[in-house]
Amino acid sequence: MHFLTDRGFNHPHASEITPRRAYDSRRDVLKLLATGAAGATMAAWAGREARAQATRPGRLAALPAARSALAGGVTMEKLTPYADLTTYNNFYEFGTDKGDPAQNAHTLKIRPWTVAVEGEVKKPKVFDIDELLKLSPMEERVYRLRCVEGWSMVVPWVGYSLAELIKRVEPTGNAKFVEFVTLADPKTMPFVGSRVLEWPYIEGLRMDEAMHPLTLLAFGLYGEVLPNQSGAPVRAVVPWKYGFKSGKSIVKIRFTDKQPATSWVKSASQEYGFYSNVNPGVDHPRWSQATERRIGEDGLLAKKRATLPFNGYEPQVGQLYAGMDLKKFY
Ligand SMILES: Nc1nc2c(c(=O)[nH]1)N[C@H]1C(S)=C(S)[C@@H](COP(=O)(O)O)O[C@H]1N2
Ligand SMILES: [Mo]
């Protein structure tokens, strides 16, 4: 299915997303027919469309946002089609196959939902999700997301800088790190209890990383609220780090004086470090990190793309790591 090129989106406005998508799908099908594409390709197309339909029966609630004006906030690269980025997911609570989250995450209950913000802050508070949605104006940020497995995508997220929330709870002088705790509900998440990882899924950032304006608290994508498989109702997105740093379905944000024990470091510290900045110069012990495949776009035969230091966000974030040995702090 990834041989297909969906020349869908060039940064549509929220209001035109669905019509544009339908239009472009039809146009691509016509193009395929005109070039006499093989039946197998058509079947793959139909399969992909059916999956996208099945997991997205109607249009999700609109989440309008203004285009971000932040440096690095909007990459001009071609967007990954909605159908691809919502059917190729890592969300181990719902299974370890890429298609499992789209299949299984309909059980996730996203209301009522609260996010407890606590620890080293002067104003700890349990936020209702609907209050969080109104905390700060929504922005559309178009970020590259690079998974440690060697694939990447380009997503028009909707959210606001995590810093907006952090400022309101007033961290104390002891707050050196932020820990994200995500939902672990065995009733709605079939793989919580499996041994792949320790649950809940925990991620963390150093305070300056968390305060960096590019670090996004995301509530939506493509102008709509997040589909469950993408981490509804709220997730982090840290574009210069490997995808696993971007925890999905967050229920707690804790400020600490110690570096959090994160799930991937606990499961395999020789393979995954706390920092996990995208770095083509530091290979994973079992594979190279020098190149990547763009989901929905680069087929198996295409030449792979070069992975950029800090996923291309070095001008914005490189300074955070001045003087650090990035081979040691991987
Ligand atoms: N709670 C939770 N968050 C998670 C994961 C997970 O398994 N559970 N997987 C991570 C990984 S490895 C990646 S690459 C991204 C994928 O986000 P996406 O499915 O929206 O592309 O989510 C991250 N956040
Ligand atoms: Mo990942």
Taken in order of first residue, the domains within the chain and their CATH numbers are 3-19+57-321 (3.90.420.10)
- Say if ligand 1 is within 6 A of residue 316 CB: no
pLDDT tens digits along 175-187? 999 999 999 999 9
The stretch 196-209 carries a mean pLDDT of 97
Taking the centre of ligand 2 as the mean of its atom positions, its distance from the CA of residue 330, in whole angstroms, is 15
How much is the mean pLDDT over the chain? 86
Taking the centre of ligand 2 as the mean of its atom positions, its distance from the CA of residue 156, in whole angstroms, is 18
Element at 206 (helix H, strand E) = strand 202-206
The stretch 244-251 carries a mean pLDDT of 98
The stretch 12-35 carries a mean pLDDT of 37
Q: Model pTM?
A: 0.84
In this structure, the strands spanning 235-237 and 291-294 are: unpaired
- Say if ligand 1 is within 6 A of residue 73 CB: no
Which pLDDT score, from 0 to 100, does residue 46 have?
Answer: 45
Sign of the torsion formed by the C-alpha atoms of 93, 96, 98 and 100:
negative
Q: How far out from the chain centre does Cα 127 lie? A: 22
d(CA 246, CA 307): 18
The 3-state DSSP class for residue 133 equals: helix
Taking the centre of ligand 1 as the mean of its atom positions, its distance from the CA of residue 56, in whole angstroms, is 19
Which pLDDT score, from 0 to 100, does residue 297 have?
Answer: 87
High-pLDDT (> 90) share of the chain, %: 79
- 23-27, 77-81, 205-209, 307-311: which has the minimum mean pLDDT? 23-27
Residue with tokens 């001008």: 315
Give the list of residues 6+ apart from residue 1 with CB closer than 8 angstroms, or none: 44, 45, 47, 48
Among all ligands shown, which has an atom nearest to the Cα of 108?
1
**Residue 3 DSSP label:** T
Ligand 1 atom having least distance to the Cα of 91: 7
Pocket-testing residue among 85, 88, 90, 144, ligand 1, by greatest number of atoms within 8 A of Cβ: 90
Taking the centre of ligand 1 as the mean of its atom positions, its distance from the CA of residue 182, in whole angstroms, is 11
Q: Which residue has the higher pLDDT, 193 or 161?
A: 161
The 3-state DSSP class for residue 101 equals: helix
- Say if ligand 1 is within 6 A of residue 215 CB: no
Taking the centre of ligand 2 as the mean of its atom positions, its distance from the CA of residue 114, in whole angstroms, is 25
**Residue 171 DSSP label:** B
The stretch 209-221 carries a mean pLDDT of 98
The stretch 111-125 carries a mean pLDDT of 98
Going by alpha carbons, the residue nearest to atom 5 of ligand 1 is 91
Question: Is omega for the bond preceding 101 within 30 degrees of 0, making it cis?
Answer: no
The stretch 204-219 carries a mean pLDDT of 98
State the CB neighbour count (10 A cutoff) for residue 37.
16
Half-sphere exposure of 12 (CA within 13 A, CB side): 22
pLDDT > 90? residue 37: no
pLDDT > 70? residue 27: no
Among all ligands shown, which has an atom nearest to the Cα of 92?
1
Which pLDDT score, from 0 to 100, does residue 303 have?
Answer: 82
d(CA 225, CA 232): 8
- Say if ligand 1 is within 6 A of residue 147 CB: yes
pLDDT > 60? residue 57: no
Half-sphere exposure of 94 (CA within 13 A, CB side): 25
pLDDT tens digits along 134-189? 999 999 999 999 999 999 999 999 999 999 999 999 999 999 999 999 999 999 99
* Contact indicator for 93, 191 with CB cutoff of 8 Å: yes
- Say if ligand 1 is within 6 A of residue 86 CB: no
Q: Which residue has the higher pLDDT, 78 or 40?
A: 78
Which pLDDT score, from 0 to 100, does residue 302 have?
Answer: 80
Q: How far out from the chain centre does Cα 10 lie? A: 20
d(CA 45, CA 274): 39
Going by alpha carbons, the residue nearest to atom 2 of ligand 1 is 248
From residue 236, alpha-carbon distances to 4, 140, 202, 278 in Å are: 29, 14, 12, 16
- Say if ligand 1 is within 6 A of residue 156 CB: no
Among all ligands shown, which has an atom nearest to the Cα of 249?
1
**pLDDT band at residue 44, thresholds of 50, 70 and 90?**
very low
